[in-house]
Amino acid sequence: MRLRLWLCLVLAVTASPLQAAERLNVVASFSILGDLVRQIGGDSVNLTTLVGANSDVHVYTPTPADAKTVADARVLVINGLGLEGWLPRLLQSSGSKAQTVVATAGIVPLKLGSDADPHAWQSVANAKIYVANIRDALMSADPADAEIFRARTNRYLDELDALDAEVREAIAKIPPERRRVISTHDAFGYFAAAYGIAFIAPLGVSTESEPSARDIAKIIAQVRSAKIPAVFLENISDDRLVGRIAAETGATLGGTLFSDSLTSEKGDAPTYIAMVRHNIKALTGALGR
Amino acid sequence: MLHDALIAPFTDFAFMRRALAAVIALALGGGPIGVFLMLRRMSLVGDAMAHAILPGAAIGFLLSGLNLLAMTAGGLIAGFAVALLAGLVSRGTGLKEDASLATFYLTSLALGVTIVSVKGTNVDLLHVLFGNILALDDQTLLLVAINATITLLVLAVIYRPLVVESVDPLFLRTVSRAGAPAHLAFLALIVVNLVSGFQALGTLLAVGLMILPASIARFWSRDITPMICIAVPTAVLSGYAGLVLSFQTRIPSGPAIILVAAALYGFSVLFGSVGGLVRQLFPARHLEA
């Protein structure tokens, strides 16, 4: 009896990929890439996102289910630049034969200390490179749907161009001397470089390290002397420290910025475009006064 | 010069004053509890409890998201349940307190991990739940203060039975029935102190400021009351010196405070008047009548 149950289970597991074979199996490493793939692939791909909404891609621990997902994938879209440190081992252990697409290919990385800064998607110009890379990979993996992908991509690139113009217009309204904020980690380097807003981070690159009293004192002194107008929180890290800094310096608490992760459907930033819009609204709201 | 090093950090920065106030409150509540824990050979209970609260925090997280109040309430309930069940089992059966506590906390931890992974989220709950002494808002500061007050009041009520039971439980059983209620009240105090300590200050500090001063006091006195009178100022001193150290050197505050306490412990092991190594090598002359 038990043997028969096992047999059924094994059959069910091995049979399921066959049924989904018509649609291209694509795996994206985290929620923002997932959204970009969805915009291009639409219903023609079968998309799975490994690190979902509101989760931290830096410190993710893969599950056995992830290994299975990766093993079944035809195309694997990753950010690269050292963001998914846990991925190479997952790829190896799952025995996946998926074609790996590095979405940041062709982007000149900024430096964070001695390492490359992986948060390239924060500049809309870079997101267009991401989109082009993903399009090329999908077209070569599934030539039958190539025209669909191309059409969807062109439409989406137009939307991104409009978004870029929107961001520049919004920033132009902020007085230059007020274009400075504090945020919880260095996720906005590309945004800062592209749009000219200075981000000062209390903790350095990683969300892991614990600050000393001296670090906090230095930031508070900096906010006071440079008259930095606003302090921002992030959706995936502990906000108490930033809250304390705001309370002590009289800087505005500017709300939440989304850096490494989208929110769920009901949240403020379910897609990449919504995320950029939300961030720019929060920034102009706090700095524009 | 000396003023700059020792006092200026606290007059210049409100977060340092808050940290100091929290350390003093923690010392007042945790000092006596630590002494009793040590005398009852339960010094490692604190670490066990840090894991026992996970399922409560996870359920709080499931019900209301990243809400500290809900997660703390859940943690308190889980902590109480584990402490009370362990207490009841060891009272009712022959199983030793540490063994039954270990059983319950491991079960609790397993339950917590299960709940967290069923939800499939990737936010490190304990990381979020455990606070930082440099980031205290009014609410948490008040929580620590209320907590110290309750602890001292309850200890005043159960002091006699608790002392007698720590020294000679059989005697207490023959003369009074206060033993079991006093023991359970004491377990409840441990949970309250630890959970609010975790939330405000992090695991290391909450447990460390309870246990280290008690072990230090053991080297300077044989009686419970003087031991408590030594443990509390020792904890305050470690807290103050640790904060100054963290301010001057860049060592994170929690570890800095515990390292100062550890240095005091090392000194006490060598030079303590009760059982210190040096005192054993060169005993004082016996008094003669």
Is residue A16 scored above 70 in pLDDT?
A: no
Q: Which pLDDT band, with edges at 50, 70 and 90, does A271 fall under?
A: very high
Q: Are residues A73 and A41 in the same domain?
A: yes
In a domain, B279, yes or no: no
The reported pLDDT for the residue numbered A96 is 85
Last residue of a domain, one of A101, A131, A166: A166
Residue A268 contacts B, CB cutoff 8 Å: no
In a domain, B288, yes or no: no
Residue A171 contacts B, CB cutoff 8 Å: no
Q: What is the pLDDT of residues A229-259, one digit of tens each?
A: 887 766 545 567 777 888 888 887 777 788 8
The dihedral built from the CA positions of residue B231, B233, B236 and B242, taken in this order, carries a sign that is: negative
In a domain, B282, yes or no: no
List the domain range (segments joined by +) for residue A68: 19-166
Residue among B128, B137, B246 minimizing CB distance to A214 = B246
Is residue B125 scored above 50 in pLDDT?
A: yes
Is residue A11 scored above 70 in pLDDT?
A: no
Q: Are residues A258 and A131 in the same domain?
A: no
Helix or strand holding residue A122 (H, E): none
Residue of B nearest to A214 (CA): B247
Last residue of a domain, one of A166, A186, A211: A166
**How many separate domains does chain B show?**
1
In a domain, A13, yes or no: no
Residues of chain B that touch chain A, judged by Cβ-Cβ distance less than 8 Å: 9, 12-16, 19, 117, 120-124, 127-128, 131-132, 134-137, 243, 246-256
Residue among A217, A236, A240 minimizing CB distance to B247 = A217
For residue B246, give the CATH number of its domain: 1.10.3470.10
Residue B113 CA to residue B104 CA, distance in Å, equals 14
Q: Are residues A105 and A184 in the same domain?
A: no
The reported pLDDT for the residue numbered A5 is 53
The reported pLDDT for the residue numbered A202 is 58
Is residue B150 scored above 50 in pLDDT?
A: yes
Q: Are residues A162 and A181 in the same domain?
A: no
List the domain range (segments joined by +) for residue B28: 2-273
In a domain, A12, yes or no: no
In a domain, B286, yes or no: no
Residue A63 contacts B, CB cutoff 8 Å: yes
The reported pLDDT for the residue numbered B227 is 92
The answer to whether the CB of B178 falls within 8 A of the CB of B161 is: yes
Q: Are residues A145 and A184 in the same domain?
A: no
Residue of A nearest to B122 (CA): A55
The string of DSSP codes covering B206-270 is HHHHHHHHHHHHHTT-SSHHHHHHHHHHHHHHHHHHHHHHHHHH--BHHHHHHHHHHHHHHHHHH
Beta bridge mates, A182? A200, A231
Q: Do B121 and A217 touch (CB under 8 A)?
A: no
Q: Do B19 and A55 touch (CB under 8 A)?
A: no
Residue A227, C-beta contacts closer than 8 angstroms, at least 6 positions apart:
none
Is residue B245 scored above 60 in pLDDT?
A: yes
Instruction: Give B108→chain A minimum CA distance, Å.
Output: 22
Residue among B121, B136, B246 minimizing CB distance to A213 = B246
In a domain, B283, yes or no: no
Percent of chain B surpassing pLDDT 70: 91
The answer to whether the CB of B255 falls within 8 A of the CB of B201 is: no
Residue among B120, B137, B250 minimizing CB distance to A215 = B250
In a domain, A264, yes or no: yes
The reported pLDDT for the residue numbered A19 is 43
In a domain, A5, yes or no: no
Q: Are residues A159 and A216 in the same domain?
A: no
Q: Are residues A242 and A283 in the same domain?
A: yes
Q: What is the pLDDT of residues B2-13, one digit of tens each?
A: 788 888 888 888
In a domain, B289, yes or no: no
Q: Are residues A32 and A104 in the same domain?
A: yes
Is residue B89 scored above 60 in pLDDT?
A: yes
Residue of B nearest to A240 (CA): B135
Q: Are residues A145 and A75 in the same domain?
A: yes
Q: Do B121 and A55 touch (CB under 8 A)?
A: yes
Residue B216 CA to residue B231 CA, distance in Å, equals 7
In a domain, B287, yes or no: no
Last residue of a domain, one of A140, A166, A192: A166
In a domain, B280, yes or no: no
**How many separate domains does chain A show?**
2
Instruction: Give A213→chain B minimum CA distance, Å.
Output: 5
Residue A204 contacts B, CB cutoff 8 Å: no
For residue A105, give the CATH number of its domain: 3.40.50.1980
Q: Are residues A249 and A272 in the same domain?
A: yes
Q: Are residues A187 and A52 in the same domain?
A: no
Supply B122's token pair: 């990737």
Residue A151 CA to residue A136 CA, distance in Å, equals 12
Q: Which pLDDT band, with edges at 50, 70 and 90, does B109 fall under?
A: confident
More confident residue, B3 or B119: B3
CA torsion angle for B116, B117, B123, B128 (degrees, to 10)?
30
Q: What is the pLDDT of residues B191-236, one digit of tens each?
A: 888 877 777 777 777 888 889 999 999 999 988 899 999 999 999 9
Is residue B106 scored above 60 in pLDDT?
A: yes
Q: Do B253 and A212 touch (CB under 8 A)?
A: yes
Q: Are residues A154 and A263 in the same domain?
A: no
